[in-house]
Every structure is written in structure tokens, then in C-alpha cells.
């Protein structure tokens, strides 16, 4: 096993990887930009290397600097987390050339599956059902127009090198195709350095179902069941759960077998996710393969009891999978909510700034993968995810109620967060009934606003009072002798 691993990422995922490394007796190396000098992942690591300025291209996307950091510190492997360089085939190749193990699939597999058009061809040959669409990407707007007419509107524009909702647009008529094509191409070029696009037939209001797979270097491939990720905004998942409330046993067997076939057809190695869309009739279609660890991997860990990061490292070190498919079981129900520094009332606009209060929820079945702490300054330069709150319970309804309680007891002040929005979403009858799809937020929460009741005011009073007392003790506040919120709020009770 490796003695030292560099984590080429930041935030909660870097912290999460480091904690498994610590359990395995592996030393960790953090990398950071100038604005992340005091970030949680830097404090968590055994040692840290400055990459450069805040701009990702000069820090977390700077391949040469990251590789030099690994060589300088004696790191034997690099774990890329997700985002940044995690699905970059060129980086995987550079790691191999430098004699450093890339914790992920081989570069050629990443290249094939990272090209959405080639990935579709691989799936078709493997007998995995795909959504009707183009075989190859293009930069030619006229060709996209012709293909759209052939497929029939509505269509989905996708970036060939895309992921995370970048470069995706739904187009309902020919009049808006060119405008959306220009916008999608620009976004794809900025995010991936590749503006090539392709079209798929748009499926209205599908469910988003994905299968976690693991494949070692000895030809063994297994699945770890499904996750449902239908609750999305701007094609970004915000709530994930397993099992899916819509999945039948027959459907589960079919989709899991398709995912394993897809992994074998691609020559996959390490952890990955095969994503599908499910139409209203329960039929599933291949969407894409994410050649990395997923943001939502903790829900799978909660129901299977497996540590996916540990398994990634074991596979990367050349060890075979320690179990067969029939030995993998799951128990109960798990949910994950992504906590973002965003203002849901203002179109989920980013909310950078200092975290003045941070109180994490606790209790049975609650886990919080967190990348911040009280006093941390949330930067504007990166994805605004703060943490991932995960719960486990015996069934879906108990998990839903546990998540609501956990969110209600999660206090973050100083930046706007998505917590109130998530609570209302989980309280909705549609979510309670499992009646979800990828258009859920647009259909049911497009005009959401936050209401504040007496209980909310009491909670705010509590944390503000703590801030006043803390500030007085440290000489940072002029609140000495001033009335506390308890005195000014008036009569109240919980």
C-alpha cells in the first residue's frame, strides 16, 4: 500500500479522502491556492504545498505544479477527488509518465468515456440502451440544426467533454437553437477547454438513476446498487438517496447488469458511476459514465458499510476486490443533501464571505462531510459547496424525518445557504411520496421564498447571542452593556 498520497483537490472531498488515508496509515499531502492557505483540507493534511494564485488554471488545474508537488514530497499516488483534474486523461497520463499512480481509471478509458459521443458508441455495442442522438460531436452550428430537425424537438445540447451540467441546454424550437448553441459552446470551452457539442433527444421529466461500480485490475467488476439523483437545479444534483423509491426489483437487476456490462465494455478500472435516465414508463437509457468518485458516494457507503475511498486506494495499489457480487448487501435507506453557500431566493446566486457561526448536527445515523469551519472565509473563485449532510435510517420515511431534523439543527451564519430551501423541499408532499423527477424544482419550487417563524427567530437569537458573548470576551464587539436578543425578542416559546 502507498505510504504517502497527494490529494489534488480542496474542500470537503479533500478532507474526506484524507480521513480515510489517516485510518489506513497513509500520510497525506494537500495542495492549495493563495486564498485557501487556511482551508480545512490544508489543516487536515500532514503537509501542504502552495500551487499559486486563486484562479483554477494557476492552482488546482495546474498539472505541472501538482506533479512537482507530488515529486517534491515523495507522494506515490495522487487522488483527484471530483471536479478539477479528476476526469482529465492528459493528467492521468502525466502521472503515469512521472511514475506516480493516478487513483482512477486508465487514461484511455477516461478519454473514451469522457467523450460523450464515443461513450454512446461503446454502450450501443455492449447492448446498453441509449437515448437517440448524434454519434459524434461538432463545432458546426449548421450541422447541429440539421441533426435537431432529424431528432425532432425538444433536444438536449450537451458538451462532448461535459459533466456537472456544464454546456447543457434544453432547446424546444429552432428559433433558440443557435443562441443556446453559442452559449453552451462558450461554457464548455471555459469549463473543459473543448467546445465540441452534440445533441440528444430530450426526455421530458425523467428520473436520474445511477449505478456505483467498482472494477479492479484483475478483471473483477461489481456494482453497489443504485442511487436516485433526480432532485436537481440547473442540472446539478442537490439531494440524493438510495434505494430509489421508484425502482422495482426487476428494474434494479436490469440496470445493474447494464452498468456492469458497460464497465466491462469500456475496460474500466477503479470506482465509477454509470448514469441513466428513467422515463415515465420505467424504461432506462444510458446517460454517461463519471470516471471518478461521485459527490453522492456517501449514501452508498451508508447502506453497504463500505468505504469507497479505501477501495479506490486498494484497487490503485493493485489489490483485487475483497468480495464477490453476491457478498455485497445493503441495509436501510440513506439520503444526502448538498449544502451550498448560495441564496435560493436570488436564483441560487453564490454567497461568499466569512463563516461567523458553524454548528454541525449530530446524533444517530448522521454524518457531515464538511470542508469549512467557524471563521473560514468562503472564496468566490470555486464551487460554493460547503458540506454534504448524510443520514441513514431503517426506511425512507425515517431517513427523511432524520434529515429534516439534522438540517434544522445545522447552524451556519455569515453566508446564505441552501438549508432552508432543502428543509421545505423535504417537507413537501411530492418528495414525501417519492414523486420526483429532474424537473421537480422547476415544477414545485420555482417561486420559493423563505418564511421566518418564531422558532426561527429564537434560533437566530441564540446564535447571535453567542456571537455577542464571544465577541465581548475577545474584545471584538461593543456589545458589553447592550441588551441581548433574549431581552429584545419579546415573549416566545418553542
Contact 370, 15 (CB under 8 A): yes
The whole-number pLDDT of residue 143 equals: 92
Give the up-direction half-sphere exposure of residue 279: CA atoms within 13 A in the CB hemisphere.
12
Is 3.30.1490.20 the CATH number for 132-201?
yes
Cell for 426? 423535504
The whole-number pLDDT of residue 470 equals: 54
Q: What is the DSSP letter of 55?
A: S
Distance CA 229, CA 242 (A): 9
Chain-centre distance for alpha carbon 370: 13
Give pLDDT tens digits along the chain (494 positions): 999 999 999 999 999 999 999 999 999 999 999 999 999 999 999 999 999 999 999 999 999 999 999 999 999 999 999 999 999 999 999 999 999 999 999 999 999 998 878 898 899 988 899 988 888 889 998 899 999 999 999 999 999 887 767 889 999 999 999 999 999 999 998 888 899 999 999 988 999 999 999 999 999 999 999 999 999 998 899 999 999 999 999 999 999 999 999 999 999 999 999 999 999 889 999 999 999 999 999 999 999 999 999 999 999 999 999 999 999 999 999 999 999 999 999 989 999 999 999 999 999 999 999 999 999 999 999 999 999 999 999 999 999 999 999 999 999 999 999 999 999 999 999 999 999 999 999 999 988 998 766 556 565 666 566 555 555 444 443 333 444 444 444 444 44
Tens digit of pLDDT for each residue in 128-180? 999 888 888 899 988 999 999 999 999 999 998 877 678 899 999 999 999 99
Cell for 369? 462531510
Contact 42, 417 (CB under 8 A): no
The whole-number pLDDT of residue 381 equals: 95
3-state helix, strand, coil in the chain (%, to 5): 40, 25, 40
Q: Which residues pair with 337 in a beta bridge?
A: 239, 389
Q: In 53-140, at which residue ranges do the beta strands (DSSP E only) sit?
A: 77-79, 101-102
Distance CA 89, CA 336 (A): 29
Residue 324 Cα distances to 57, 332, 470, angstroms? 41, 21, 54
Q: Write the CB contacts of 320 (distance below 8 Å, at least 6 apart in sequence).
A: 216, 217, 218, 220
The whole-number pLDDT of residue 477 equals: 39
Cell for 242? 438510495
The whole-number pLDDT of residue 453 equals: 62
- Out of 169, 292, 400, 402, which one is annotated catalytic? 292
Cell for 448? 420559493
Residue 138 Cα distances to 132, 181, 187, angstroms? 17, 11, 15
Give the up-direction half-sphere exposure of residue 458: CA atoms within 13 A in the CB hemisphere.
9
Q: Which string of b and e fits 388-397 if b means at least 16 CB within 10 Å? A: bbbbbbeebe
Closest CA to 241 of 305, 289, 286, 296: 296
Enumerate the H helices of 28-88 as residue ranges.
Answer: 40-44, 63-73
Active site residue 367: no
The whole-number pLDDT of residue 117 equals: 80
Domains 132-201 and 207-444 share a fold: no
Closest CA to 488 of 463, 466, 465, 471: 465
Fold of 4-103: Rossmann fold (3.40.50)
Contact 371, 386 (CB under 8 A): yes
Angle of helix 177-192 versus helix 141-151 axis, rounded to 10: 120
The whole-number pLDDT of residue 475 equals: 41
Cell for 461? 437569537
Number of C-beta neighbours around residue 490 at 10 A: 8
Cell for 365? 445515523
Sign of the Cα pseudo-torsion (15, 92, 219, 266, in order):
positive
Number of H helices, E strands in the chain: 17, 22
Cell for 156? 438536449
Residue ranges per structural domain of the chain:
4-103, 132-201, 207-444, 454-488
Pairing of strands 101-102, 77-79: parallel
Is 3.30.470.20 the CATH number for 207-444?
yes
Distance CA 52, CA 57 (A): 9
3-state secondary structure of 325: helix
Q: Which residues pair with 293 in a beta bridge?
A: none
3-state secondary structure of 435: coil
> Which H or E element spans position 464?
helix 454-474
Distance CA 323, CA 306 (A): 11
Q: Cα-flanking dihedrals φ and ψ of residue 144, to 5°? A: -65, -40
Largest CA distance in the chain: 75
Closest CA to 259 of 137, 122, 166: 122
Amino acid at each position: 500500500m502507498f505510504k504517502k498520497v497527494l490529494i489534488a483537490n480542496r474542500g470537503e472531498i479533500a478532507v474526506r479522502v484524507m480521513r480515510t488515508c489517516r485510518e489506513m496509515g497513509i500520510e497525506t499531502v494537500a495542495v492549495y491556492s493563495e486564498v485557501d492557505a487556511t482551508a480545512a483540507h490544508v489543516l487536515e493534511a500532514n503537509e501542504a504545498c502552495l500551487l499559486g494564485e486563486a484562479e483554477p488554471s494557476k492552482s488546482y488545474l495546474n498539472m505541472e505544479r501538482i506533479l512537482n508537488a507530488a515529486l517534491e514530497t515523495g507522494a506515490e499516488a495522487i487522488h483527484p477527488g471530483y471536479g478539477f483534474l479528476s476526469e482529465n486523461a492528459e493528467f492521468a497520463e502525466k502521472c503515469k509518465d512521472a511514475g506516480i499512480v493516478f487513483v482512477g481509471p486508465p487514461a484511455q478509458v477516461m478519454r473514451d468515456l469522457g467523450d460523450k459521443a464515443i461513450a454512446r458508441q461503446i454502450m450501443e455495442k455492449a447492448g446498453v440502451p441509449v437515448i437517440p442522438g448524434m454519434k459524434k460531436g461538432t463545432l458546426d452550428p449548421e450541422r447541429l440544426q440539421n441533426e435537431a430537425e432529424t431528432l425532432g424537438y425538444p433536444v438536449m445540447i450537451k458538451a462532448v467533454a461535459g459533466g456537472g451540467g456544464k454546456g447543457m441546454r434544453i432547446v424546444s424550437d429552432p428559433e433558440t437553437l443557435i443562441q443556446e448553441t453559442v452559449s453552451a459552446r462558450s461554457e464548455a470551452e471555459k469549463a473543459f477547454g473543448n467546445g465540441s457539442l452534440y445533441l440528444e433527444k430530450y426526455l421530458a421529466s425523467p428520473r436520474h438513476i445511477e449505478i456505483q461500480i467498482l472494477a479492479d485490475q484483475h478483471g473483477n467488476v461489481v456494482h453497489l446498487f443504485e442511487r436516485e439523483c433526480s432532485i436537481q437545479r440547473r442540472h446539478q444534483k442537490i439531494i440524493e438517496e438510495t434505494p430509489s423509491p421508484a425502482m422495482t426489483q426487476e428494474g434494479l437487476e436490469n440496470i445493474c447488469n447494464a452498468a456492469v456490462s458497460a464497465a466491462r465494455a469500456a475496460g474500466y478500472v477503479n470506482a465509477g458511476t454509470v448514469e441513466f435516465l428513467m422515463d415515465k414508463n420505467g424504461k432506462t437509457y444510458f446517460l454517461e459514465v463519471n470516471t471518478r468518485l461521485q459527490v453522492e458516494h456517501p449514501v452508498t457507503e451508508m447502506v453497504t458499510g463500505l468505504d469507497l475511498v479505501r477501495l479506490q486506494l486498494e484497487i490503485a495499489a493493485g489489490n483485487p476486490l475483497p468480495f464477490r457480487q453476491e457478498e455485497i448487501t445493503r441495509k436501510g435507506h440513506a439520503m444526502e443533501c448538498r449544502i451550498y453557500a448560495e441564496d435560493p431566493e436570488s436564483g441560487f446566486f453564490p454567497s461568499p464571505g466569512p463563516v461567523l457561526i458553524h454548528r454541525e448536527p449530530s446524533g444517530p445515523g448522521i454524518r457531515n462531510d464538511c470542508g469549512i469551519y467557524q471563521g473560514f472565509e468562503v472564496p468566490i473563485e470555486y464551487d460554493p459547496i460547503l458540506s454534504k449532510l448524510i443520514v441513514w435510517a431503517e426506511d425512507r420515511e425515517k431517513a427523511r424525518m432524520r434529515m429534516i431534523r439534522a438540517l434544522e439543527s445545522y447552524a451556519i451564519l455569515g453566508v446564505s445557504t441552501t438549508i432552508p430551501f432543502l428543509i421545505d423541499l423535504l417537507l413537501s408532499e411530492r418528495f414525501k411520496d417519492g414523486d420526483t423527477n429532474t424537473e421537480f424544482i422547476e415544477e414545485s419550487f420555482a417561486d420559493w421564498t423563505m418564511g421566518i417563524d418564531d422558532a426561527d427567530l429564537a434560533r437566530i437569537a441564540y446564535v447571535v447571542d453567542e456571537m455577542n458573548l464571544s465577541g465581548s470576551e475577545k474584545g471584538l464587539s461593543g456589545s458589553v452593556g447592550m441588551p441581548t436578543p433574549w431581552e429584545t425578542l419579546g415573549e416566545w416559546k418553542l
